[in-house]
Amino acid sequence: MTKMSLGSHPHMLGFEQLERLLERTAKTGNEGYPPFNIEQTAQDAYRITLAVAGFSEGDLAITVEDRQLVIRGRSREDAPERIFLHRGIAARQFQRSFVLADGVEVGEAIMENGLLHVDLTLSRPETVVQTIQIRKG
């Protein structure tokens, strides 16, 4: 049995990019750290919140690369004179990726009480109806 892809379906023209997007989403490698929430804050607005306890603003980097929001964290090494009897607060480096749909724009990022908030907005394009003229060949 042959696996049919979106790009090869006869009624789905030009969806090769969507297929690549789905494949890229499956490969993002997001483990369970750090935990995050995604909430809808308005009709066309969203907020991603990551729990980044132990990280400062300088330890974090937020980029948009090819319609993909990438949040990276790299904490500075503790001073060697610190001796932990128990270390339960994870401060390992991480990378979280979120694939953005067309029209989703990244707004501001706010650090508050160990939580990093990244605001997103969705701008919906106007619906355009196009009439195609038929000419004699």
**Six-digit token string for 51:** 């729990």
pLDDT in tens, 16-25: 766 776 676 6
8 band by pLDDT with thresholds 50, 70 and 90: low
pLDDT in tens, 97-124: 999 988 999 999 999 999 999 999 999 8
**Six-digit token string for 71:** 């949040």
Checking if the pLDDT of 6 tops 80, the result is: no
> Global pTM?
0.71
Domains in the chain: ranges and CATH: 1-30 (no CATH), 31-122 (2.60.40.790)
Looking at residue 136, its pLDDT comes to 92
Please give the Cα distance from 10 to 4 (Å, whole number): 10
Taken in order 17, 30, 102, 66, the sign of the CA dihedral is negative
